[in-house]
Every structure is written in C-alpha cells, then in structure tokens.
Chain A
Amino acid sequence: MKKIYADNAATTRLSKEALDAMMPYLTDYYGNPSSLYSLGVKSRQAVENARNIIAECLNADPKEIFFLSGGSEADNWAIKGAAHLSAKKGKKHIITSKFEHHAVLHTLDSLKKEGFEVTYLDVHENGIIRPEELENAIREDTALVTIMFANNEIGTIQPVKEIGEICKKHKVIFHTDAVQAVGAIPVDVKEIGCDLLSISAHKFHGPKGVGAIFMRKGLRLPNLIDGGAQESGRRAGTENIAGVVGMSVALKHSCEVMAERNARLEKMRDRLIDGLLKIDRSIINGDRVHRLPGNVNMCFHGLEGESLLLSLDLKGVSASSGSACTSGSLDPSHVLLAIGLPHEVAHGSLRLSFSDENTEEDIDYLLEIIPPIVTRLRSMSPLWEKIIKNS
C-alpha cells in the first residue's frame, strides 16, 4: 500500500544529512563542552559552529542565539521572562492572539494567575490579526506582544513586520513563536524587528527535543532554567550537542532549498485545495494566499474528523484533525473556533501538511481517496442527513 506522511506540521522526519552530522557526537565525541581537554573542545566547537549557522540563517548575531529544549521552552522563557522583567517597571499587560499554540496560551494562563492582564486579538475569518487592532490594544502598561509567525493548524502567516514596527514605535517587547515558520519560509529577525523568536528543530527535519531562542542583544530576560554557566549563564544544562548540530544542518539545508521547494509545494497545495473544494459543502480554513506553502486545512460538513483520520490511516495516509474526538477534549480546536467556525463544522476538519519529501503523486493519491471517504462517512451520518434535508 502507498504510504503518505502528510503531518509535517506535527513533526518531520529527521533528515539523513542531519543524522549523519549528529552521529559522531552520539558516539566518539562525547566530551562535555565545558571541559578543557581536547575531547571537550571538540564538543564546544561543534556547539559554536551550530550557533553560527543558525544565526546566519536568521540574520542574527551568534550571541543572540541560545539553545534549549524546543519550542515550548522558548515560548515559556520568552513570555515569562519578558513579563517578569517588565513587571518590575509596573507593566503587567500582555497582548496576544486568540489562536496561539498552547505553549503560549497556557503560559499566559499561568501569568494571569500571577496578576498579569492579557488581551486576545481577534484573528478574523481569514486567520490573520489586524495591525490596527494591535495598535489600539497597546496601553501605557503593555509589557509584551506575543503573536505567532505562522499558525500551526491553518498555516496563516501573520503580518510580523508591521507588528514589529508597531511594537518598536510604542517601545513594547515583541516575541514571535516562529516554530512553524523557521525552515518553512524566510525568517529574518532584522526585517521583522522582533526582540524574541522561538525555534524548534523537529519542524524542519531536525531532531526532537531541541530548539533555540533568538534574544535581541541588550535584552536580558531573567533565566527560566538556573544552574551551570552554559549558554553564557543564561540557560543551564549540559548542551545537547548532537541535537544542536542536527538542528543547524537541517536548518541550513531547509534555507538553501527553500525557494525551489516552496514553488513546488505551493503548486501542490493549491491543486489539492482546488480539488478538495469540489467536494460538496467543503471549506478551506484560513487565508488562501498568506499561508504556509505546505499547509492545507479543510472542513467537510456532516462528518467527524477522527473517523476521517482513521479512514485515511487505513489507506496509508498520516494526517491530523482539530476535532474534539481526536484530542480527547470536549471542544474542537480553539484555532478553528477562533476563525468563527461553529462547533459542528470544526469537528469535521482535516489538516494535511507537506514537506520536501512529498510529491505530486501524493496529491494525486489524496485527491483519489479523500472524496470517496467523505461520501462514505456522510452516507452513515445522521448530521449529514439533516444538512441535506434542511437545504
């Protein structure tokens, strides 16, 4: 049976180049980078080389890159750090959007318990915040703006450059969760004008459990992880050497092939969306233009997402859904609700996310198998029966 991995927004396969680069640091070069002898120096050099590569990909200074355990830690550090730093100056207001990743939203929940106030910007039907609404929300006591670069479910890209300008004008710290953007689309920290940016390696064919934060020079957030003097005393813990090496190789490769790959992915994406929109009562979620090249997110009225995923799995396809039944939670995805979908429609969502490993043949196969699956599930759905009767 054909096998298609179409869940690259969840995670990606570790690339061969990254694995090869990592292997020596998992075997022969096991020295602690803090040690003085040559085995330790070898490890230290690998870590600093990885830092240089990542800084270059983001147009940052290597001193502005700190390694850590992944996107969630980067978000936690950026948000808690900026909040606690600003609280000393009496600033306890934070602005975010309604459809951030839970690494951001749940971090904000814990800050709210400490007395911070949070404003959630609307993301509208197209899944994009409006800069003027951000500017209107900024107050004297606004400590931080945290808005994601690209959404992990519907792939919509936010106007980060305009957000950066507004934050600069009002002297507010700007953090962007760029976990879905880095490696997928061009990310230039100088152009964006952000102060903090979160990165996770496993979204661009690097290893899991490793990431980085960009922290603009001159901004010194209080530490999240205290301990040894690693990462200039800003983030303790013996370095994940193989991890950061793998991340740097994967990112460098992603950036090198980006233009060509994205031209190909956009064509595939648009063909798939156009093909799936031919299905009766199907909708595309999020802006069609300002979206990640590899993201397709659709809803099919009258069916439930988990049964759709299982049917796809039986046909060899790995995908994801924002239905409540998939997550075991009560409500469907907060992202789909944030763009205004009613609950019953949001339950019928499907996310297909692609990387350089996917091909036009994958799209052919998906367009061949998805319509009959939708028809089959609808034929046994009492909800679909009602939708048809009421129309």
Chain B
Amino acid sequence: MAYSEKVMDHFANPRNVGELPDANGIGEVGNSRCGDIMKMYIKVENNIIVDVSFKTFGCGAAIATSSMATELIKGKSVDDALKLTNKAVMEALDGLPPVKVHCSVLAEQAIKAALSDYYRRQGIDPEPIVGKIEEHDEHGEDSCH
C-alpha cells in the first residue's frame, strides 16, 4: 500500500486511542459489514474540546485518519471542530491513495457524530448546527463507501 510516512506513523503510533470514560459526546459511524467502524469520544468544557479519543475497526488509512482527526480538534473550540473537513485530515497526512479517500470522510463524519451527541446531551437539536450525518447502521447493506 502506497501510504505516506505520516500515515504509517499515525497507524503505527496512533494518538489518542482508546475509550474516554468521562466523555460527554460519543459518535459512531461506518458499518461492520463494510469493514469499517469509527467511534469518537469527546469531552467538551466551556465550548472547548479538552479531550478526545477514538476506536477504529478498519484499514490503515481509517486508523491513521481517526488519529490525525483527534489531533486536529484537540484543544479547539466546538465551532472549529465542526469546520474540520476530510480534506484537511488528508492534507495533514500528506495525502491518501484515491481508494482511501472515503476513510477520511468517515473520520470527518465520526467527529460530527460525536458533536451531535454532545449537543443532544445538552438538550440542543444538533441537526441545524451539524447537519445530517449518516448514523451507524449495523444492518445497512450495499451502502459501503
């Protein structure tokens, strides 16, 4: 697989991996049938993402993009995190092979899913703010990538 050194670094030494016990926003996207599930945990205090972690079942790019995405939003405001795009994640990793672009989309979606969960827990409807995201669908068929 023609991965950049940065991708391999984040794959071999993923940052912020594992569960976050005191998370106040958890989002999960992807589907096991397709071979990829990303789960993001965020802890928000005063509108700042003070801590973040992830768990990923998926390819090397999926693990590396999750890791990079957590680094990019850690310490940022919720508003900044909402603006994170898959493109930014890819650029930070010095690019991805074309067949792996969807893995970075998954990382963007996972963060949005965690933020939605955070808003919901605050009693705020996330849809006008975060937009619609494809929720985790265990039985989804023919919808991979």
Query: Which residues of A does B touch, CB under 8 Å?
Result: 302-304, 306-307, 309-310, 314, 323-326, 328, 330-332, 342-344, 347, 379-385
Would you call B131 an interface residue if the criterion is a C-beta within 8 Å of the partner chain's C-beta atoms?
no
Min distance, Cβ A321 to any Cβ of chain B, angstroms: 10
Which chain A residue has the least Cβ–Cβ distance from B28? A382
Q: Which of B12, B35, B38 contacts A323 (CB 8 A)?
A: B35
B36 A380 Cβ-Cβ under 8 A: no
What residues on A are CB-neighbors of B8 within 8 Å? Answer: 310, 314
Min distance, Cβ A348 to any Cβ of chain B, angstroms: 9
- Counting chain A CB atoms within 10 Å of each CB, the highest count among B32, B56, B57, B58 belongs to B57
Known: A310-B11, A314-B12, A330-B34. A325 touches B59 (CB 8 A): yes
Question: Which residues of B (24-42) have their CB < 8 Å from a CB of A?
Answer: 28, 32-39
Q: How many chain-B residues does the 8 Å CB contact rule pick out?
A: 29
Min distance, Cβ B3 to any Cβ of chain A, angstroms: 8
Known: A307-B11, A382-B55. A343 touches B33 (CB 8 A): yes
Q: Mark B91-105, 1 if CB is under 8 A from A, else 0.
A: 000000001000000
Min distance, Cβ B60 to any Cβ of chain A, angstroms: 4
Give bound CA distance, A345 to B71, whole Å.
Answer: 30
Would you call B129 an interface residue if the criterion is a C-beta within 8 Å of the partner chain's C-beta atoms?
no
Q: Which of A304, A309, A380, A382 contacts B35 (CB 8 A)?
A: A304
21 sampled A-B residue pairs with Cβ under 8 A: A304-B35, A306-B59, A307-B59, A307-B60, A310-B3, A310-B8, A324-B144, A325-B35, A330-B145, A332-B35, A342-B33, A343-B34, A343-B35, A347-B35, A380-B18, A381-B56, A381-B57, A382-B38, A382-B55, A383-B32, A383-B37
Which chain A residue has the least Cβ–Cβ distance from B136? A382
Q: Which of A302, A304, A379, A382 contacts B59 (CB 8 A)?
A: A304
Give bound CA distance, A381 to B17, whole Å.
Answer: 10
Give bound CA distance, A330 to B144, whole Å.
Answer: 6
B1 A310 Cβ-Cβ under 8 A: yes
- Counting chain B CB atoms within 10 Å of each CB, the highest count among A332, A342, A381 belongs to A381
Give bound CA distance, A199 to B14, whole Å.
Answer: 44
Give bound CA distance, A163 to B32, whole Å.
Answer: 38
Query: Which residues of B does A touch, CB under 8 Å?
Result: 1, 3, 8, 11-12, 14, 17-18, 28, 32-39, 54-60, 62-63, 99, 144-145
B57 A304 Cβ-Cβ under 8 A: yes
- Counting chain A CB atoms within 10 Å of each CB, the highest count among B59, B62, B63 belongs to B59
Q: Which of B3, B12, B57 contacts A382 (CB 8 A)?
A: B57
Q: Closest 6 CB pairs between A and B? A: A325-B59, A328-B99, A347-B35, A306-B59, A344-B32, A383-B57
Known: A306-B60, A330-B144. A381 touches B55 (CB 8 A): yes
Min distance, Cβ B39 to any Cβ of chain A, angstroms: 4
What residues on B are CB-neighbors of A379 within 8 Å? Answer: 18
Which chain B residue has the least Cβ–Cβ distance from A329? B99
Min distance, Cβ A335 to any Cβ of chain B, angstroms: 16
Min distance, Cβ A177 to any Cβ of chain B, angstroms: 28
What residues on B are CB-neighbors of A326 within 8 Å? Answer: 1, 59
Min distance, Cβ A325 to any Cβ of chain B, angstroms: 4
Min distance, Cβ A63 to any Cβ of chain B, angstroms: 45
Give bound CA distance, A166 to B36, whole Å.
Answer: 44
B33 A344 Cβ-Cβ under 8 A: yes
Give bound CA distance, A240 to B113, whole Å.
Answer: 58
What residues on A are CB-neighbors of B144 within 8 Å? Answer: 324, 330-331
Q: Which of B11, B35, B56, B145 contacts A344 (CB 8 A)?
A: B35
Give bound CA distance, A66 to B58, whole Å.
Answer: 45
Give bound CA distance, A168 to B41, whole Å.
Answer: 64
Known: A307-B59, A380-B63. 15 other contacts (CB 8 A): A304-B57, A306-B1, A307-B11, A309-B1, A310-B11, A324-B35, A325-B36, A325-B59, A328-B99, A330-B144, A342-B33, A343-B32, A343-B34, A347-B32, A380-B56
What residues on B are CB-neighbors of A342 within 8 Å? Answer: 33
Give bound CA distance, A332 to B144, whole Å.
Answer: 11
Give bound CA distance, A382 to B55, whole Å.
Answer: 6
Give bound CA distance, A307 to B62, whole Å.
Answer: 9
